[in-house]
Amino acid sequence: MTQRTALRLHKALARIWAPEPGWRGWLTTNNNNDIGRLFLAVATGFFVIGGILAMLIRAQLATPGSAFMGPEAYNQVFTMHGTVMMFLFAIPFFEALSMLLLPGMLGTRDLAFPRLGAYGLWVYIFGGSAVIIAMLMGLAPDGGWFMYPPLTSAAFSPGLGADVWLLGITSIEVSAIATAVEVVVTVLRYRAAGMSLSRMPIFAWYILVVSVMILTAFPPMILGSLLLETERALDWPFFQVENGGDPLLWQHLFWLFGHPEVYIIFLPAAGMIATILPVMSRTTLLGYGWVVAAAVSLAVLSFGLWVHHMFTTGIPHLGLAFFSAASTLVAVPTSVMIFSWIGTLWKGRVRMELPMLWLLGFFATFVIGGLTGVMLAVVPFNWQVHDTHFVVAHLHYVLIGGYVFPMIAAVTYFQPLLTGRFRYFRLGEVAFWLVVPAFHVTFLAVHVAGLLGQRRRTWTYDEGQGWEILNLVASIASFVMAIGFALVILDILINTFAGLRGQRNPWGAPTLEWAAPTPSPTYGFGSIPIVRGRYPMALDPDLPQRIAKGEGYLADTARNRRETLIVDTMTGEPAEVAVLPGNSRLPFLLAVVTSTSFLAPLVGAYWLSALALSGVVIIALIWVWQLVPATTEGPVDAGRGALLPVASETANPPGWWGSLFLLLADGVHFGSLVFGYAFLWTVAPNWPPSSYLRSEVWPVMLALGGAVALIAGPRLLARAIGRPALPGLLVATCGALALAAAAASVMLARPAPEGHAYDATLWLLAGHTAFHAALVLIMLGYLSLRRIAGHALRVGEARIVSLWADFAAATGLVALGAAWLPGAFA
Amino acid sequence: MTDVLRIALPFTLWIIGFCALYALQGLVCSHHWPAGLDGRTALVAAAALFVLGQGVVLAAVLSRPAATRFAQRVATILAVAALAAAVWTSLPVLALTVCG
């Protein structure tokens, strides 16, 4: 192909992938470049807000007996600082970078579910804005970022603050789960031809691991928020000791999320380090396989540490020892990574560019934070410094050193790719030399203040305790650090708009994202690349030109739609053609109604919440209806002589993969609910309740029969392609109704969930069952409507419904069994 | 997906075993635990089963090679590490009071 052909291809693809013109384009775009940039800008805005709150804290603590803030304001400020930094900045920021960079790294044109990405963005913006607006109105939560009851119960935290946190943050977690599903499916299936598992860029491994962690760590937190909000709004006593609840249940659910959260934040940064460090060292990553193994093991180990945040709650010594042992284990995979990076530096020739400076800042800081983490894993030391400023200093060493510094390195490293401009103004170096030394002065002083006994979360302190100089030094240095961070942002902005127009791949990086033009166009690649190694740009320097000329897959634009390649998960062989959706208002509208359903209860508008929820259902149905064409088209030409099926016509379409991983999160949510029930049953002080639920035979028969029909119905549907679908639809519908009726029998038998935590939990178990039966009914209704409209039923659609029906049946049986068994044996 | 599952399996089993051990300890120390049954014996037996299970996983990984050398290598590293993690996190059942 000639240069002219490449230009024609570029113009055709740019037209197909273009967002709508004008401001409406921002509301309807779902391209990863646009969504990623918006995500990045909003997350940076929240970082600035969180930073200002940090400065308020340090201003207050600079001197003893300060009158700068009263305790009410201080409580809101430190709660919001933690909340903003953890939920509104850290996670969205790496999600933004992943959205922007991952398709390029993997050699695909976009993420697997572009509309889901746009939906996640808007839910995040609405939820985050609600929390910030509440703060500006003086309605911010003030119970600390981990919101322990009974402090945050309605009795001790009246008003809206805690509700803002519980509802606002939960909606943001929905956004994180949406993005995680999208990322997992993208990494597993949407890659360049020939990109096997062993050829995946190291960041893809990290972000795959992190996304699975989000899917498994966030559900316990969502459940905890649901329980606490239900307790506050409806007086269901999950955490009230006098009524069979236990506040420790909250701590378990929170830290089941909260500890993995630390690694959810660290691992993407580690992925960036493992990507950037070899390039800055002009070599390749040492021990790729070991680093993958370390990332996987660290991710899972992080789920076995949650109780180390609860060492002072009176748990038996054996329990403490389990978690102390697991906590010390974490040092092993972390060290494997650190030594891999040191070895990479050792075998290469380091160039001291700005990203490398930040990586060195990371090493100096994170290793100290890791070592104080090992100190905290030792139970007697933990008891000594629990809830002191030592813990504050430790977590800032880990989170700023282990996350913020590598992320600044990542932004400066990828700036040429994202903006098309190379750094010219050298403000960044000045910022680095302000931030890193000032950080260490600040938090070394805070460490010492903690060791001397200064408690965290106290709005002031008295003179004469030896903390005055330490706090003053920490506060002055923290302001220097804040000035440094402001310069970081200024440096990036200036170089984005006034930097040098650079050539492609200025760092000489070997990974695929640098094969795209800079700045990356909306369609990413002119054709889907073919890779033959882990470092495609090093193996084949002419690759960018050949991709642009259309020598890869899917270079033909005749079908006039957004297409990308789906590959075999293990080998990377081309398998299917994915047709991606175009611009749409639906993600924005769905986010509006979703956020309304979450936030309306804040002002007591439960009717509006219910109305918005029905809006969610309607828009979701329209969304799916639009995605699947009425007719099938058979295999299509994917280029290079390959005839591949369209993904939506296969047995396991992208929606099936997305459902699979969404159900993983749903399953963990359900598991957390069962854990909560078992926890209360085992250790809550006021158990057993005055009586257990005793079921009659008919609800049990309904549940068993319903489950069998739910499992069988969709399978009948899948086998009925080209034949009448009515039997399968009827069987599945009867199954869902029977299961829902069995669940309703539990609620009818125990009509007062506010009386005891046992009854409240039964209602939740039954509610979970009824909710999933209703979901299946909605899906069956959708399939019926498609049949009535004359659309071809696809095996993939039936298999998606089958997944959800199996889940509803299995969890329904477990939930109802758990509700009925204690009564049967009592 | 088989290779991905092979890589995920060893530590997934570790977290299940670890949580089960902790849950058993909670049950042993609750009023539901039968009076005649020795809690430590139950915990030691569970820990032994936990370690044995991880050993079986390692043996399975070694005896049935993955489709690619890379997946085999990573799965082997993880199976060995998960076995070591199981031994390390089970050790407290031999040394500490069960409910004190």
pLDDT at position B42 is 97
pLDDT at position B65 is 85
What percent of chain A is predicted at pLDDT more than 90? 90
Residue among B54, B77, B90 with most chain A CBs within 10 A, to mutate = B77
Q: Is the pLDDT reported for residue A721 higher than 80?
A: no
ω before A380 within 30° of 0 (cis)? no
Max alpha carbon distance in chain B (Å)? 52
Res. A629 pLDDT band, cuts 50 70 90: confident
Question: Which residue did the predictor score with more confidence, A688 or A188?
Answer: A188
Return the bridge partners of A421, or none: A501
Residues A140, A161 contacting (CB under 8 angstroms) = yes
Q: Is the pLDDT reported for residue A1 higher than 70?
A: no
State the Cα–Cα distance between residues A30 and A19, nearest whole angstrom. Answer: 8
Residues A326, B18: C-beta atoms closer than 8 Å: yes
A175's CB contacts (< 8 A; 6+ apart) are A92, A119, A120, A121, A123, A124, A127
pLDDT at position B66 is 85
Return the bridge partners of A646, or none: A577
Residues A316, B100: C-beta atoms closer than 8 Å: yes
- Count Cβ atoms within 10 A of the Cβ of residue A251 and give its class: 0-12 exposed, 13-18 middle, 19 or more buried: buried
- Locate the chain A residue with the closest alpha carbon to B96: A318
Residues A317, B30: C-beta atoms closer than 8 Å: no
Query: CB count, 10 Å around CB of B39?
Result: 18
Residues A321, B96: C-beta atoms closer than 8 Å: yes
Checking phi first, is residue A500 left (phi over 0); if not, alpha (psi -120 to 50) or beta? beta
State the Cα–Cα distance between residues A422 and A413, nearest whole angstrom. Answer: 9
DSSP assignment, residue A793? P
Q: What is the mean pLDDT of residues A83-97?
A: 96
Residue among A253, A296, A328 with most chain B CBs within 10 A, to mutate = A296
Give the 3-state secondary structure of A118-141: HHHHHHHHHHHHHHHHHHHCCCCC
Backbone angles phi, psi at A692, to 5 degrees: -100, 155
Query: CB count, 10 Å around CB of A271?
Result: 27
- Locate the chain A residue with the closest alpha carbon to B70: A198
> Chain B: nearest CA to A575, how far in angstroms?
14
The full set of domains in chain A, from first to last, is: 688-825 (1.20.120)
The dihedral formed by the CA atoms of A119, A29, A104 and A424, expressed in degrees to the nearest 10: -110
pLDDT at position B1 is 60
State the Cα–Cα distance between residues A552 and B80, nearest whole angstrom. Answer: 41
Instruction: Report which of A535, A498, A636 is spatially closest to residue A198, judged by C-alpha positions.
Output: A535
Q: What is the mean pLDDT of residues A138-142?
A: 93
pLDDT digits (tens, 9 = 90+) for B10-48: 999 999 999 999 999 999 999 889 989 999 999 999 999
**Rg of chain B (C-alpha set):** 16
Name the residue ranges covered by the structural domains of chain B: 2-95
DSSP assignment, residue A646? B
Q: Is the pLDDT reported for residue A190 higher than 70?
A: yes
pLDDT at position A424 is 86
Residues from chain B contacting residue A571 (CB–CB below 8 Å): 67
Backbone angles phi, psi at A553, to 5 degrees: -85, 155
- The CA-to-CA distance between both ends of chain A, in Å, stands at 79
Res. B91 pLDDT band, cuts 50 70 90: very high
Judged by DSSP in three states, A582 sits in: coil
* Sequential DSSP letters for A381-427: HHHHHTTBHHHHHHHHIIIIIIIIHHHHHHHHHHHHHHHSEE--S-H
Res. A397 pLDDT band, cuts 50 70 90: very high
Average pLDDT over chain A reads 95
Q: Is the pLDDT reported for residue A63 higher than 90?
A: yes
Query: The whole model's pTM is what?
Result: 0.96
Residue among B7, B28, B31, B70 with most chain A CBs within 10 A, to mutate = B70
Average pLDDT over chain B reads 94
- Locate the chain A residue with the closest alpha carbon to B25: A319
> Chain A: nearest CA to B96, how far in angstroms?
6
pLDDT digits (tens, 9 = 90+) for A448-507: 999 999 999 999 999 999 999 999 999 999 999 999 999 999 999 999 999 888 788 999
ω before A688 within 30° of 0 (cis)? yes
Q: What is the mean pLDDT of residues A663-681?
A: 97
From the list B12, B22, B70, which residue is nearest A300 (CB)?
B12
pLDDT at position A2 is 62
Q: Is the pLDDT reported for residue A681 higher than 60?
A: yes
State the Cα–Cα distance between residues A438 and A476, nearest whole angstrom. Answer: 9
